[in-house]
Structure 1
Amino acid sequence: MDALKTIACLIYPDVMSLDVTGPLQVFASANDECRRQGLPASYRLLLLGQHAGAIATSAGLQLMTDQTWGEADLTQIDTLLIPGGAGDQLQCQDPHLLAWLRAAEPQLRRLGSVCSGALILAAAGLLDGHRATTHWADVERLRRAHPQVEVLGDCLHTYAPKDPSGAAHIFTSAGVTAGIDLALALVEADLGRAMALAVARRLVMFLRRPGGQAQFSALLAPEPSRIPRLAALLEWIPVHLADDLSVEALAAQACMAPRTLSRLFVEELGMGPGRYVERIRLEAARHLLHDAKASIATVARLTGFGHPENLRRAFHKHLSVSPQAYAERFA
C-alpha cells in the first residue's frame, strides 16, 4: 500500500447523502490542510457500489461509483465506511454484499459504519461481541435484531485507537453528523491532534463534540394503550411533575402496594418508577428549555427537580451537558 491511505465508502440506492459526503469531506479537508502546510496529501477517496454508474441517494442527489465493490482490490484499501440511509434494509438482506463484507473485514485495517450502516455490519455478523452504536432512532432495532452486539445508545462513535479489544479495527458511529466526528477521530489517529484540530477549525466544528446523541433523541413516554395496568398513572404523572412522585406516593395514587408498583414498572417499562419519573421530568425540562421562556431555576421548580443543581446533575447524567449549554444549543 502506498503512502496515500485509501478511504472507501459504500454507496447504494437511497443511501443518506450526508453519511457519505460528511465523513469524506473531513478527509478531503485534511488533504487541503496538508497542502497548506507544504505536506503531501494523505488520503485517496473512493466510492464503491454494486454496479458502475450513478446511484441516487435518499435526497435525490446522485453519487457516481468509482468502482464496484466486487472488483475492488482490498489490499489497497485502508479504511472502509458503511453509511446508513433509507435503503439500509435492502442491503441487510443482500447475501452477496454481506458475504463480501465478511471476506473484506480481515483484509482491512479499519472497518466502520455511519448511522444505520451499523445494521449492515451487524447483519454480516461483524459486530457480534463488539460495542456498537447507531442513530438513536435505530438503537432498539439494532438491540432487538442482534442481541450479541453490545449496543450503546448515547455515544457519538465507538472508535478507540488504543483499545486492545478491537475498537480500532471495527467501529460504529451514531446518527448522520456523528460520522463527521468519527472521521475527525480517524484523522487524529492518522495525522495527530494538531492536524485534526486544524481540520475541525476549517470545518467550523468541535474536535470533540460535548455530550452524546441523547441530546438530540426523543425520550418519549410509551403509549398508555400499550401498558394498560399503568395507563392511568402514566397519564397522571406528567401533570404532577412538581408534586411528590416517590414510589410510595405513586403507589398510593395507583392504589397498589409500592412493591407491586415497582414490579409492574420493571415488567412493562423495563425500569423502576424512580428512573421513569426522572426521564419524564428531564423530557419536560428539555421542552421548556427549547421554548426559552423560563429561567433554569423556574424550569427546575416546574419539573420537580426543585433546585437548579438537581437539574444540572440530571442533565449531566443523561445528556452530558449542562442545562445552560443545552438551552444555548437548542433554544
Structure 2
Amino acid sequence: MDVRRVAVVGYDGAELIDIACVTTSLGMVSEYGRARVPYRTELLTPGGRPIRLPGGLSLEGGHPLERATGPFDTVLVSGGLGHEKAAANPLIVAHVRRLARESRRVASICTGSGILAAAGLLDGRRATTHWRYAADMAARHPEVTVDPDPIYIRDGNLITSAGVTSALDLSIALIEEDHGAEMARLIARHLVIYLQRPGNQAQMSIFTAAPPPGNDVVRGVVEHVLAGLDGDLSAAALAARAGISVRHLTRLFLTHLGRTPAQYVKHARLEAAAHLLAGTSLPMPAVAARCGFGSAETLRQAFTTRYGIAPSRYRQVHGGH
C-alpha cells in the first residue's frame, strides 16, 4: 500500500473546522512526518459540487460522492448545521453506507454521527455526538446507545467523536494508531495543541454547563444534587423533594438532560471526584465520602469504569499536589 486513502464526506451546511481538522492533521503526516505510508485525503461531495458552509463560505475541490470507489483506509463524515438535511438525503446516506463497506474503518465528526446512524451503521453500537444534539439523536435512533460525555468513542471499526474541535483529538488518535506515538507527538507539536485528550474525557463540565432549560423542577433538583453530593440522592428522595412521582421526575430528566436521575447523580459525583483528585491532596476515603461514594473501593470501581483509569493514576497525571 503506497498511501492510505481517506475520504472526507461533506455536504451543504457542513462545518469547515470538522473538515479542516482532519485534512490538515493527516496532511502534516506527509509534510512533516515523512511517513512511509502517508495519507491521501479526498473530499467527497454530492455531485462533486462546491458545498456551502455556515458563515457564507463555500468549499471547492470535492470529488463526486456517487462515483467514489474503494478501497479506502478510512471514511470520515463531517458534522455541521446541515447534518439533519444530509441525514434525510437518501443519496448521501446510501453512498455513506456503500463506502463504509469499502473501508477499513469509518468515523464521524460531531453531528456527522447522525448520518452514520441514518445509514444503519451504528445499530447496536455505542456512539457519541455533540452534547447539544445527543438527546435528539438518542430519540431518533433508539437502536444506538448514545453516550453524550466522551470526546470520542471507538466501537469496533466505527469511531464517533464529539463537537467540532474533537476532530483534532480524533485525528491525533488515528495518527497514533497508524504511525505510532512519536508521530502523533510530532504532529501535535506542529499543530500547537495538547498532545491528546483522552477519548473518555467529558465534553462539558456539569459545573460550567448552563442550567437545564425551561424547567424549574429539573433546575431545582440539579441545584440540590450539586449542593449535597454526599446526601441521599436516590430517585425516590429527589422525587419526594420535588413533590412529584419518581416516574415523572425520570421523564423530566430524560427530556431536559438526556439522563435518568440516577445517571445524572452518578455523573455529578464522578466529576466532582475528578476535580478533588486533581485539585486537592485529600486522601481517597475522604474524596469518596465527600462525593457520596460508600468507600474508596466503590469510588475506584466506578471511576475506573467511567474514565478508564484508576483514581490514583488520574491524580498522578492531572494533580498538582
Change (3 A) 1:65 1:253: same
1:90 shift after superposition: 0.9
TM-score, normalised by the number of residues in structure 1: 0.71
Deviations 1:173-206 (A, max 9, x none): 1111111111111111111111111111211223
1:150 aligns with 2:141: no
Residues in 2 aligned to 1:175 and 1:189: alpha-carbon distance in whole angstroms = 21
1:48 aligns with 2:44: yes
2:59 is aligned to: 63
Which blocks of at least 5 consecutive residues in structure 1 are unaligned? 161-166, 290-295, 298-306
1:247 shift after superposition: 5.7
Change (3 A) 1:253 1:31: same
Output the amino acid matched with 1:214: Q
Residues in 2 aligned to 1:24 and 1:202: alpha-carbon distance in whole angstroms = 14
Q: Secondary structure at the match of 1:28?
A: helix
Residues in 1 aligned to 2:51 and 2:74: alpha-carbon distance in whole angstroms = 21
The answer to whether the 8 Å contact 2:4/2:37 transfers is: no
Matches within 5 A, 1:205-216: 205-210=193-198, 212-215=201-204
2:76 is aligned to: 81
The answer to whether the 8 Å contact 1:55/1:65 transfers is: no
Q: Secondary structure at the match of 1:214?
A: coil
The answer to whether the 8 Å contact 2:49/2:64 transfers is: no
The answer to whether the 8 Å contact 2:229/2:269 transfers is: no
Q: Secondary structure at the match of 2:41?
A: strand
Residues in 2 aligned to 1:236 and 1:102: alpha-carbon distance in whole angstroms = 44
Matches within 5 A, 1:71-150: 71-75=67-71, 77-150=72-145
Q: Say which is worse superposed, 247-256 or 180-189, in terms of deviation.
A: 247-256
Q: Say which is worse superposed, 206-215 or 170-179, in terms of deviation.
A: 206-215
The answer to whether the 8 Å contact 1:17/1:59 transfers is: no
1:18 aligns with 2:17: yes
Matches within 5 A, 1:286-325: 310=290
The partner residue of 2:253 within 245, 269, 286 is 269
Change (3 A) 1:251 1:71: closer
1:224 aligns with 2:210: no
Deviations 1:62-119 (A, max 9, x none): 21133111111223x2211101101111111111221112222211112110000000
1:241 shift after superposition: 3.4
Matches within 5 A, 1:145-224: 145-159=140-154, 167-168=156-157, 170-210=158-198, 212-215=201-204, 218=209, 220-221=211-212, 223-224=214-215
When Rg is computed on C-alpha atoms for both structures, the one with the higher figure is 1
State the identity %.
29
Deviations 1:16-74 (A, max 9, x none): 11010011111011112223xxx556011211111234222113322113311111122
Residues in 2 aligned to 1:24 and 1:265: alpha-carbon distance in whole angstroms = 45
